[in-house]
Amino acid sequence: MTVSTQPVLKHARTAATVVAIGTAATLMGPAPSASAAPPTSAGDRCRPPLCSQTWNDSGKGFYALKNWCLNGGTTGTATIKKPTCNNQKRNWLKPGERTRGTQDWDVFQVKKGRCFKVDFELTPGRDFSKKYNRKNKKTVYVKVANNAFAKVRSSTC
């Protein structure tokens, strides 16, 4: 008598799928409700992995600031008005460094006379690049929302 292994394999695949889905759900946390807005505003709290993060892949150092604390704007928005929140923290990023992914660093600074080429990666999906040319212009502060990474690729024009 020959025993078919197909039903056993089918159940094993189903069990593996259920385990994979359960693991992914555990890692990602509970799904947001239909009425919840996506995390696009910059504040001083975030939920990893949706914390804003700035990477310095350029040859020069610059400051990242903890909180945007200005009205409006989206990732990539630049302003000459310095975000001055209560106890505003800043972090000097040397070439090759990045802000911690478990913290929320919502702003980076492009000093007067500098020029940054920045790649922005949003979670989920919309990626874009932008240049900030501050030659003969004032320093600007650039927003990085909670669902975004800013990768400063170059610090020269």
Cβ within 8 Å of residue 132, ≥6 positions away? 78, 110, 114, 115, 116, 118, 140, 142
- pLDDT computed for residue 4 by the predictor: 53
- Computed over every residue of the chain, the mean pLDDT equals 77
Going by the DSSP 8-state scheme, the letter that residue 20 receives in this structure is H
Which portions of the chain are predicted below pLDDT 50?
A: 7-42
Contact predicate 150/114, CB 8 Å = no
* Model confidence, pTM: 0.70
Q: What is the pLDDT of residues 1-38, one digit of tens each?
A: 555 555 444 444 444 433 343 333 333 333 332 223 33
Domains in the chain: boundaries: 53-154
